[in-house]
Amino acid sequence: MRTAIRHGPFDPYAELARFERERIAAGSCGAAAVFIGTLRDFNDGAGVQRMTLDHYPGMTERHLERIAAEAIERWPLAECLIIHRVGEIALGEAIVLCAAWSAHRSAAFDACRFLIEDLKQRAPFWKKETRADGERWVEHNTPP
């Protein structure tokens, strides 16, 4: 398992390819389930220009490690990966990457969904949107 917080932009597709080269023996896994969250313009009249992610250094990393370890405990996974941004994020940039590899799709899908849903509910991150009319903290995530 690998979990990481990144303070600058990252390419989730390059990270997936690199992780698979390093950790997944060719042909060893039949299934990979991936979630990538990117910053979108919320398109409600006051467009989001960028976002700033606050976090709790020490607590946030520990939480990501814990849920990755829990996913490996609960499902027959070969590997899982979480990468999450902090700091300033531009439109279209990746915010989060969650991925799970398994022999078959059921475990991979379920584990990947578990990682992102737990992260959204419990991981200590906080989003602040910058719009043309100023900054505001997001009060709650969109439901599952």
Which residues are 51's β-sheet partners?
89, 129
Nearer to other proteins, 18 or 122 (CB): 122
CA distance 61 to 80: 15
Nearer to other proteins, 41 or 135 (CB): 135
For 138, list phi and psi in degrees, rounded to 5: -70, 130
Smallest gap, in angstroms, from Cβ of residue 103 to other proteins? 27
- Angle, helices 59-74 vs 105-122, to 10°: value is 150
- Interface residues with other proteins (CB under 8 A) are 37, 53-56, 58-59, 62, 84, 95-96, 116, 119-128, 137-141
- For the bound state, the minimum distance from the C-beta of residue 47 to other proteins, rounded and expressed in Å, comes to 19
Element (H, E) at 59: helix 59-74
Work out how close the CB of 74 gets to other proteins at its nearest, in angstroms, rounded to a whole number: 19
Q: Which is nearer to other proteins, 46 or 103 (CB)?
A: 46
97 CB neighbour count, 10 Å cutoff:
26
Q: How far is the CB of 52 from other proteins (least distance, A)?
A: 10
Whole-angstrom distance, CA of residue 64 vs CA of residue 50:
24
CB of 41 or CB of 76, closer to other proteins = 41
